[in-house]
Chain A
Amino acid sequence: MASIARCLRAARPALPTLARSSVPQPISRLSTIRAFSASTIRPVRKYTKDHEWVDLSADNKTGVIGISEYAAEALGDVVYVELPEKGKAVKAGDAIGAVESVKSAADINAPISCKITDVNFLLEEKPATINQVPEDDSHGGGWIAKVTVDEQGVKDLEALMDVEEYKTFTAGEDAEH
């Protein structure tokens, strides 16, 4: 995701207030999901400044990628998701796919170095899933790709934000505006 979060809100007249008030909400929903499904085995979800998230498995070998609730909200109605190419190896920041909403083709970037092993075909069929459950990595969720990760990918993770840092970051983006 580019810095879509910012002015895309013009797409929805009420978004400036909406985006601000909705930020804490997805986060709390998120922590509910975490508490329910993940307990302590899984490391926390990390976020990029471009509004992607990544979960790494406990053994640091595999991961799941998606876009954040904040980004999904700001993007407006997603009408098409161009999925990453299976088998492709990418570096952090490389464009791996794109999301179209409100006449915009927005790149989805790899949050960390990784290799794409699986993509969420559901998004091609039901792109609105990404608006509804962008941070859900289960079957039927809005996750974008499953990946394998090497040492570089694990290293890249250090530069990313945890949920609290990301919350502060998006609040700052809103305030600036």
Chain B
Amino acid sequence: MSPFRHASITLTKPLTRTKPLFSPHLSRPFTSYTSSPSNPLQIYHSTSLNPYLNLSIEHHLLTKSHPDSTLLFLYRNAPSVVIGRNQNPWLETNLSALRAGLPSPSPSSDAGGGGAGEEVNLVRRRSGGGAVFHDAGNANWSVICPSAVFDRDRHAAMVVRALEKLGVRGARVNERHDIVQDVSSSSEGREGNNTFKVSGSAYKLTRLRSLHHGTCLLCSPNLGRISPLLRSPAEAYIKSRGVESVRSPVRNVGVGYEEFVDVVAEEFEEMYGEVPGGSVAVGSNALEIEAVRKGVDELQSPEWIYGQTPQFTFSTVPSDADPRPRPALPSYLPENLELSFTVRHGQIQDAKVSGLRYRESPDGLSQDQAISKAIVGRTLHEIRDWHAALEEASLVSLESDHVGKWLDGLFGVGRN
């Protein structure tokens, strides 16, 4: 991944009310403005499409803004799958599909063409909730306020009012605090309503400050491509602690990004009062702030993205903990292959391997035991080639690389 690839991209048309309040040459571009008690209301918009940077700026605003202030932050990201704080990327996403990417949005290529793709970033955010897809066709809105006045629905309702102003009909906040749109389906021959999710909600609550953010689908060209990114090939074999996503049908509200952020900012001011100076532009200049830079490093680190995963088990056979029947193994694998392990803080524990076929060993059983023992302690996300990992753990050569290739596919590593 090259996360900084988009850092220099700016909005084609800046927010209409924008007035830059700081010079990019200042060493602390907006921290003093953010933390000052004389700015109880603040609006920011990001000029960057880098999800790691935008989330780090957001976190910086959460932790450094004045405890009594209320902030609105608006941004959008390059194609990314963003999982919740306590989710499992091996269970929630198709890592190979993320790496293969989406068709580049070049005007010359045919829609859906399978050319060289634009890699989809994998991001773990600090707030709770489930996995969502971001691209430049959807807007992230984020409100930071004192915990004492935090309300789960208040700011989703603010966005609903903005959507109404933009002519979007049927939008409302549902019982899951998502923004949904009721769409009449009478045109399709049947009477009745279909409900689509257009914006999710997630929260981060700290002692004094609370953050509510959501991602509103405006005009994403990738709607039809989201579902495969959010389906794991290992789903049938993984049982994870933590949070599983709830799947919802989604749709675009059909609004442009610039008009959306303008009207959301208007609604924010309607609720809280005028923000002197309007919206402050932030972007790659925020990297001059050490805390933001550290935040970006942390969000990009494999220890955060993968290692933060709650404990889970992988097993090719039903167990007490996960009695689901398993799909039949592909026919090219050894018939009695059994593989299971537990992963805690990213590390493999309690591995059990049996039924592997070896080139020369007369004693497959002890081979299996040797492998089981040798993969314990390995860091799952550091295994980039399962065949090599198994070979390394085995005293004698494996008969074929089929098992390794199969595992590569499930865990989204290797070339597949």
Contact = CB atoms under 8 A, between A and B. Distances in A.
Interface of A: 1-4, 6-8, 10-11, 13, 50, 79-80, 82, 93, 95, 98, 100-107, 109, 124-125
B63 to A, nearest CB: 11
Nearest to B202: A103
A122 B209 CA distance: 29
A15 to B, nearest CB: 11
6 contacts: A4-B147, A4-B205, A6-B149, A103-B176, A104-B152, A105-B84
Contacts of B241: 80, 124-125
Contacts of B148: 3, 6
B18 interface: no
Given A6-B150, A80-B242, A80-B243, A104 B311 contact: no
Given A105-B203, A125-B241, A13 B151 contact: no
B206 A100 contact: no
B128 interface: yes
Given A10-B177, A13-B175, A82-B86, A105 B152 contact: no
Contact of A93 (B176, B201, B207): B207
B364 interface: no
B391 interface: no
Nearest to B85: A105
Contacts of B86: 79-80, 82, 100, 105
Interface residues of B, number: 35
A107 B203 contact: no
A85 to B, nearest CB: 11
A10 B153 contact: yes
B128 A107 contact: no
Contacts of B149: 6-7
Contacts of A95: 206-207
Given A6-B148, A13-B175, A104-B128, A50 B207 contact: yes
Given A6-B151, A10-B153, A100-B86, A105 B204 contact: yes
Nearest to A50: B207
Contact of A107 (B150, B200, B207): B207
Contacts of B151: 6-7, 10
Contact of B207 (A2, A13, A101, A102): A2
A100 B150 contact: no
Nearest to A48: B207
B129 interface: yes
Contacts of A107: 205-207
Contact of B152 (A7, A80, A93, A100): A7
A2 B243 contact: no
Contact of B128 (A3, A13, A103): A103
A104 to B, nearest CB: 4
Contacts of B129: 103-104
Contacts of A82: 86
B310 interface: yes
Interface in B141-179: 147-154, 175-177
B127 A103 contact: yes
B114 to A, nearest CB: 35
Given A3-B150, A13-B175, 8 more contacts: A1-B205, A2-B147, A7-B151, A93-B207, A102-B152, A102-B177, A124-B310, A125-B241
A10 B205 CA distance: 15
A146 B270 CA distance: 47
Contacts of A50: 207
Across the A-B interface, the 3 shortest Cβ-Cβ residue pairs: A7-B151, A103-B129, A104-B203
Contacts of A101: 128
A103 B87 CA distance: 11
Contacts of A1: 205
A3 B147 contact: yes
Contact of A100 (B177, B200, B243): B243
B199 interface: no
B216 to A, nearest CB: 16
Contacts of A7: 149-154
Contact of B243 (A8, A10, A79): A79
A106 B151 CA distance: 14
Contacts of B85: 98, 100, 105
A9 to B, nearest CB: 9
B128 A2 contact: no
A136 to B, nearest CB: 21
Nearest to B246: A103
Contacts of A106: 203, 205
Interface centre among B126, B154, B202 (most CB of A within 10 A): B202
Contacts of A103: 84, 127-130, 176-177, 200-203
Contacts of B34: none
B232 interface: no
B367 interface: no
Nearest to A10: B152
B54 interface: no
Interface centre among A7, A95, A124 (most CB of B within 10 A): A7
B140 interface: no
A124 B242 CA distance: 8
A101 B127 CA distance: 11
